[in-house]
Amino acid sequence: MASADDLGQLYIWYWNGGHLTPITCWTSSMCAFFDWHPWCEDEIVIADSEPIMIALYHVPSREVVSYYRRQDCDCIVTTLSFNKISGELVVCYSFTDINKQPEILVLASMDRVVDVMRNHDDVIVHLLWSPDGKQLASVGYDETLTIWNFFGISPTNECKRRKLQCEPMASSSSSRGASAVGGLGGGRDALRIHANRNKEATYRDLASSFLFKAMR
């Protein structure tokens, strides 16, 4: 198992019969985010928030298998999560330029971004998957909840597909000033990334949208 504190220390533990034994410690300059690989139980992704460095760490060998590093200090990582079906890594960025929307990047490997999604105006702090892994919910400080069809709309759903065609699709260039080593796919930059994912629903102003009664 793994745990992290607010000082940037991430600890990996060996669990056996209710007893915890420390294996290793990862030190980050800022808060570290992590998630275990859904297919490889010995591998964990660890992200240093600023400057951005995302590493795939093999626990038994205590070695970094592959990594992604962003040279420009124009954004920070705010959360990340693996998709259990495809094994793709979803990473949320927030930019220092407040005029730039936060981005949700989908990485097929450490050197290949396959999708970029945008629908938030402030930092994205939570990602939550549906039980079947086909929908993703993102929640931000902008009090917005967005539900994404992670693998796109089914071609058999003609009504929703026609509605999607009337809406502009998100597209972006690949991450600027970044370097990567290793990964699951071949190394090539995505010069133009067209989002295959699409929004199922958006709920804004969450704090004022729901009626509530004070607890007594």
Query: Is the separation of the CB atoms in 83 and 133 below 8 Å?
Result: yes
Inside any domain, residue 145: yes
User: pLDDT tens track of the chain, all 216 residues?
Assistant: 777 777 667 778 778 887 877 777 777 666 678 898 999 989 989 888 777 889 999 988 888 899 888 877 888 899 999 999 999 999 999 998 989 999 999 999 998 999 999 999 999 999 999 999 999 999 999 989 999 999 987 544 545 555 555 554 333 333 434 545 544 433 333 334 445 677 787 888 766 555 444 444
Tracing tokens 């093999």 back to the chain, one arrives at: 58
Range of the domain at 126: 29-152
Query: Is the separation of the CB atoms in 155 and 161 below 8 Å?
Result: yes
Inside any domain, residue 205: no
What b/e readout covers 156-173, taking b as 16+ CB neighbours within 10 angstroms?
eeeeeeeeeeeeeebebe
pTM over 0.85: no
Inside any domain, residue 66: yes
Give the chain's domain count: 1
CATH number at residue 55: 2.130.10.10
CA distance 6 to 179: 27
